[in-house]
Each structure stands twice: as structure tokens, then as C-alpha cells.
Amino acid sequence: MSSTKRIAINTGGGDAPGLNAVIRAAVLSARSRGWDVLGICRGYQGLLDTHLTKSLDHDSVRGIAHLGGTILGTSNRGNPFDYPVELGNGKIETIDRSDQIVENFHKLGLDALIAVGGDGSMEIAHRLCKKGMPIVGVPKTIDNDLSGTVVTFGFNTAMSVATEAIGRLHSTAEAHERVFTIEVMGRYAGWIALYAGLAGGADAILMPEIPYDIDVVCDKILRREAHGRRFSLVVVAEGARPVGGEMTIKEEREPGRELVLGGVADRVAHEIEKRTGKETRSVVLGHLQRGGSPTPYDRILALRFGAAAVRVIAEGKTSVMVALDPPVVRTVPLAEATRRMKTVPLDGDVVCTAREMGLSLGDE
């Protein structure tokens, strides 16, 4: 490879605050080396329909670091290895279009791709690398469930939004002597629930990592009642499930796409009201947690990741993901980053802190 390069960048999966900051830092770092940058729109779709690409320069990334969303668009459908096509009879089947991606990548004269995404996007990146496409991954997801990095950008913003919401519900819960169940995102990991619940002053936190016993949760609420605390806040991760039970699924999707979780806070609220007699309302924070401006923490992390990805390409390294290993940003092999989902460690000090402060985690 010559030292002047032509690189591409895409953003895939659900959006997360900080995507635009990554794009800005990557473009400015690449341009300062004299490289060309091509933006691939809508995840990998822009490498299938190559008119969905655009050159990125200083002007294209001016004033975007503080903006939510992504100027490139994103998609959590259209995995090139499992690409959905509609059959005439209304049914959908999936086909492998990865060879076309690799072919178009070379046709566009690209030397490397910076793929910004979560577990699904990193898995796709890893498989494309094996087919000869040089890729550097950048980890994003509000869920914080990617192994290989201590934290993903997007998580801090989502956790802050959820914390503020819990704080706001606190006063209305107290005024009406009600119980609130607050459903937060996170898919199969409880990071947002645990951190926002702890920071926001929740009384109970239910996470996928610890199946809950509804009687334990009700007992906590009734004990508070006995001490004159006639309201309670229960933070419920969307992936929480009762002991011996299943997660609450809101919607099945077409082949190749993840299930939509949702509704567990309502389920828990119902049970609490039935068992304690306390008026109980549920609130689902949903996509509010993904929208809007990234926190300064996420902006800095995203800017560091974007610049680091370009640095890594300049060093001639690919098939890796940039990762935070405080205080440094380093790289981990893509294979390592996609090996397992990072869930909340039950012996970690955050879980310990919650327990020692008397919060119920639904199990004791």
C-alpha cells in the first residue's frame, strides 16, 4: 500500500450518540495525512448500491461532533451475509451478498474501511476481513455489551438520559405515593439499568444477569412503606426476566434480525400492584436513550476512537477494533471483540455497591 490512502467509513446497527464525532475525527485525521475519505451510507448498503456513497472532507464534518444520529445513516437490517430478499409470495429469505461487497470495495479503489458499529457490525467486519477486506472496527453501542473494550461510546449518554428520567420520576412518585417501574434499554446486558439505577437513586434494579423473584421486589417496596417511604422506583432492564421465566418479547422480526424486547416494566408493574395493592405505573424510556447530543464523555471517547482508527490504518494494521483500556486506546483483534457478549459481572464492585446500599436486585 502507498502512504497516501483512500479509506471509507460506515456506521451500522442501531445509532448511538457519538457516531458523528467518530466520523469527524476520522475524516480530519485522514485529511491531515492527505488521504481521501469516502462515506458509505446506511451501514453496508452503500457497498451494495454504490451510489449511496459520498466524499467526506473538512466541510462535510464541520460542526457535527455534538450532534446525535449519524450523517451517514445507519441500518440494523441488511447483513450482507444474511441479506433479506422478498419472495413473490410475501415471504422473506436471506442470501449471501458478501462477495459483492468485497468486489465493490475494490472497484471503489479503497485501501481500508473504518466500520463503526456494535456486536453485529463487528461480526460482519470480522467475516469480511477473512474475505480480504482490510477493516478497522470502532465499537459503539448504548448497551455497552461489546467485549474487548472497557466501554463503548453511546453508553454514557444513554445512562445519563436514563438517570435524569429516574430523577424526574422520583418527585412525582413521592408526591402521589406511587410505585414506578422504568424500562431501560440494553438488550441482554444490564449496564444501563445498573448504572442509571444506582446514579438515579432507584430502590430496585432488575437486570438480565439476575433473574428476579417478584416477591423479593414486593417485599422491598413493602419494607420501605413500613418505614414511611410510601413510594418506590424500580428500574427494569428490557431484558430482565423472572426466575424460571423468559424475557418479554415485543415483536419478532424477519429472518436475520434481532427480536425486539419490550414490555417487561409493564409486566412487573402489574405484578407489583396486584401483590402490594400500591398504585403502580410503568414508563418505557425507549429510543429517547439513543437520541440527542452525546455527553462530553462520549464525544471525547468517540473522537479518540475515530482518530485512533486512522492511526491504526497508517500503521498498516487491520482486522482489529480500537478499544478503550484506560488510560489508553489500544487495538484488539476483531476475533476477540466478537467472541462473547460483555454482561455485568455479578462479583464486580458496582453490583456490590448496590447491594451494600440496600438496593434490591430482585434476588435477595
Gap between the Cα atoms of 176 and 14, Å rounded: 36
Among this protein's residues, is 119 annotated catalytic?
no
Which of 15, 119, 143, 145 does the annotation list as catalytic?
A: 143
Q: Report, in Å, the least distance between residue 185 CB and ligand F6P.
A: 3
Using the minimum distance from each CB to ligand F6P, give the nearer residue, 27 or 192: 192
Using the minimum distance from each CB to ligand F6P, give the nearer residue, 46 or 186: 186
Q: Report, in Å, the least distance between residue 222 CB and ligand F6P.
A: 31
Q: Which residues contact ligand F6P by CB under 6 A?
A: 14, 76, 118, 141-143, 185-187, 238, 260-261, 290
Length of the chain (residues):
364
Q: Are strands 6-11 and 112-117 parallel, antiparallel or unpaired?
A: parallel
Gap between the Cα atoms of 318 and 303, Å rounded: 19
Q: Report, in Å, the least distance between residue 239 CB and ligand F6P.
A: 8
Using the minimum distance from each CB to ligand F6P, give the nearer residue, 113 or 285: 285
Using the minimum distance from each CB to ligand F6P, give the nearer residue, 141 or 343: 141
Q: Report, in Å, the least distance between residue 162 CB and ligand F6P.
A: 11
Of the candidates 242, 155, 247, the residue with the CA atom closest to the CA atom of residue 194: 155
Using the minimum distance from each CB to ligand F6P, give the nearer residue, 186 or 197: 186
Q: Report, in Å, the least distance between residue 212 CB and ligand F6P.
A: 18
Residues designated as active site = 143
